[in-house]
Amino acid sequence: MERFEHKVVVVTGAASGLGKATALAFAARGATLALCDVNAQGLADTAAEIAEVSVAPFVRTVDLADPGACKGFITEVATSLGGIDVLVNVAGVLGFTHVADVTETLWNRVMAVNMSAPFWLSQAALPHLLERGGNIVNVASSAAFLGEAYLVPYTASKAALVQMTKSMAMEFLKQNVRINAVAPGGMNTAIGANESLPEGADMALLQRFMPVRPMAEPALVADLIVYVASDRAANIHGACLSTDAGITAG
């Protein structure tokens, strides 16, 4: 099993779903955790669960749509915990809607959380990661590689995140840091719990990107994130690893 004793791991979106599963997975492996989410109650619940089995995590309620809040969170983590070894950008939002009904507010929110926040967090964290030979793991999606009806802002943001990961990896190719992404398919999470399909949605179009195999439990994806962040994955840099039960295979 990968171990992270004496390493500071930052996980965004830790209040629920994959972010929570990722935080729990790192906690089980000895990491010192710094967690954030916009959902204060969910974040507190995650922290309490971790505190039962490990050291209580550093937690902050943060709206990642605010670049200043992203940078401030990283600065506070590094100051409070003495540095950063791993940044895992999990937080994300969906937004089912017809193209004609996409508003500036929806577009900007999806892009801010899914693509811009990982950039601002990474930019702020990189000096600390370079100092300690750390790494970044961005959570993309199978949607980065598939056209998905009624999810244009989401798929665009995840495709941009993949290319951002690769370009940042190339810029830091000769330096002591690794930058990667993982791309899950459908998971049993609450990310779409408050989402509804747009009126008149064509189910035949939706079925084109529905998984054939069962939805993955978040812990399965979290295990891949932990591996990519570990020293065992020292040769993985600039990659986007799929964990989507074959949905992008053909």
What are the backbone angles phi and psi of residue 184, rounded to the nearest 5°? -75, 155
Residues with active-site annotation: 154
Name 111's Cβ contacts closer than 8 Å, sequence gap at least 6. 153, 156, 157, 160
In DSSP terms, which residues pair with 186 in a beta bridge?
none
CA 13 – CA 18 distance, rounded (Å): 8
- CA 79-84-85 angle, to 5 degrees, is 165
Q: What are phi and psi for residue 82, nearest 5 degrees?
A: 85, 10
Q: Quick one: how far is CA 157 from the chain centroid? A: 12
Burial 142-155 (b: 16+ CB within 10 A, else e): bbbbbebbbbbbbb
